[in-house]
A and B are shown apart, each in its own frame.
Chain A
């Protein structure tokens, strides 16, 4: 096969310096180093593609001449892989070059359109995606991407039309359903809930879909179902910003449920737990940190404070405990260890009352607190 030659040009000033392992200010102050580092970056990119790449930088323009037997299909495939890695800055010029050679290619139109939409170059993105759905009116993903671009462009009406078209073409596409549900939820959670629910069913391992469903349930007032869904969302991957959103919402639910009918009145069971904790930590201060931290860590996985029949165990304290009891112990522990720490649940009324009891030495035997579990 005869090698095909493709030439790409990139503006050096458009290059995202965060892709390089050198501080931007250092690079800007040393032109030679900047050009070497950028050349190295592109050499690495094209090494993965095979063929031969010649990289030159002149007057702020990076020119890559790539000679390959594989040609455009490999380049498009590589560009898509770069987009999946979040490297839009490198992928976009490649896709633009590919588009010049194949202006009606749906794969290029779709991926370049989405990339430009992510980069907030919305006019260009919408032009490409509109061309895509004109050429291929049944391209459900194209309609979905176009809908998102319209949303970003604040054209809500066009966005809803495009997303509805996408859902109509692919009723079992969870992403389109999720996006449509998310858009409708801005005006009516009730109307959005069927779409969001269906999306969550179709995307059981998609954390954003699960968190979105949990949030919609919460906003619709179904806190019991929201609680369950949000916990599942966290379990999918506890270390993501989405999991943090779910945790915040779970804390709100737990707090709301715990206060329930009590309103502003302190809960006496919590007062007793706090009192027991105050006594324990006064008698054995060395245990305070271990117990408090262990409960805090356990809480990251979700402690159910509204189901006293669910029991937990700790390594640092013998016995079995309800979620509410542990949270009370943790609250008291943090008040001792770090009084200004932001504890996500507000037990201040109960804590103050427990403190008064503790200071007045109105002793309650451990049995009182235990009997309230």
Chain B
């Protein structure tokens, strides 16, 4: 039987948004799962779990449900993070000039710079919503704790891959540092919630602990509905990291 807490969240999403959640699997995906919020051309929310992460599917579905609840609770509509093309292009150009990328061909250099910048913006957009979801699931879904712990271990471990020397040498220092600060914020957040310390060790050693703690302070200070909190935290983090000019919010009607 699917987990009772997961079932409850699936029902809650349908009740709050008017659309049911359809859960599917996907052969390959960048992370654990993909989620598409319902709209006129697809009258259902779609959550797709990576085939290789099916063991933790109950938690991953619950987490995606909390993100849907968050998105649909914003009073202005469903928020959409929209990068501002010309400003992002400038940021990418600046990144492409970094000497760490100089050994690449010009095409590859630009592609890599673009990936790094869009990845950073995606991280900025998604991490606060993820933290809200993690906290919500931890408090409201006690039967998913074990699966949550396993999923967090996988995610945190994946994040630390970017601490490898070759990654650090390649990425522009500005982007690299912002990325690590947000990774560290996630790690510290989980350590505080679960009462462990291991995930924090790598970040303490590279000296981003103060800035990560500052991001978490802003996370805890933000109030409002889940949706408002999510966008407000993104903005607060963007201010802190110097990324606020690169995007704007659009709101789609529900």
Contact = CB atoms under 8 A, between A and B. Distances in A.
Chain A interface: which size bin?
20 to 34
11 contacts: A22-B199, A23-B163, A44-B195, A236-B1, A238-B23, A239-B23, A240-B54, A286-B41, A289-B41, A296-B24, A315-B44
A290 interface: yes
A41 B198 contact: yes
A33 B205 contact: yes
Given A239-B2, A239-B54, A22 B43 contact: no
Contacts of B43: 290, 294, 315-316
Contacts of A239: 2, 23, 25, 49, 54, 57-58, 61
Given A23-B164, A26-B202, A297-B22, A290 B41 contact: yes
Contacts of B25: 239, 244
Contacts of B41: 286, 289-290
B202 A33 contact: yes
Contacts of B156: 21-22
A320 interface: no
Interface in B31-62: 41-44, 46, 49, 51, 54, 57-58, 61
B157 A294 contact: no
A294 B57 contact: no
A294 B187 contact: no
A349 interface: no
Interface in A39-91: 40-41, 44, 85
Contacts of B54: 239-241, 244
Contacts of B126: none
A85 B146 contact: yes
Given A25-B164, A44-B195, 11 more contacts: A19-B153, A20-B157, A22-B198, A23-B158, A25-B161, A26-B202, A36-B201, A37-B201, A239-B49, A293-B42, A297-B44
Interface residues of B, number: 37
B121 to A, nearest CB: 24
Contacts of A105: none
A85 B146 CA distance: 8
Contact of A21 (B24, B146, B152, B195): B152
Contacts of B24: 296-297, 300
A41 B197 CA distance: 9
B95 to A, nearest CB: 24
B50 to A, nearest CB: 11
Contact of A22 (B57, B146, B202): B202
A40 B157 contact: no
A102 B76 CA distance: 66
B149 to A, nearest CB: 9
B89 to A, nearest CB: 30
Contacts of B157: 18, 20-23
A41 B153 CA distance: 12
Contacts of A237: 1-2
Contacts of A41: 198
A257 interface: no
B17 interface: no
A23 B165 CA distance: 13
A241 B57 CA distance: 11
Given A40-B198, A297-B46, A21 B51 contact: no
Given A21-B156, A239-B57, A300-B22, A294 B44 contact: yes
Contacts of A344: none
Contact of B196 (A33, A44, A286): A44
A244 B53 CA distance: 13
A30 interface: yes
Contact of A240 (B46, B57, B153): B57
Contacts of B158: 23
A229 B40 CA distance: 36
Contacts of A363: none
Interface in A289-315: 289-290, 293-294, 296-297, 300, 315
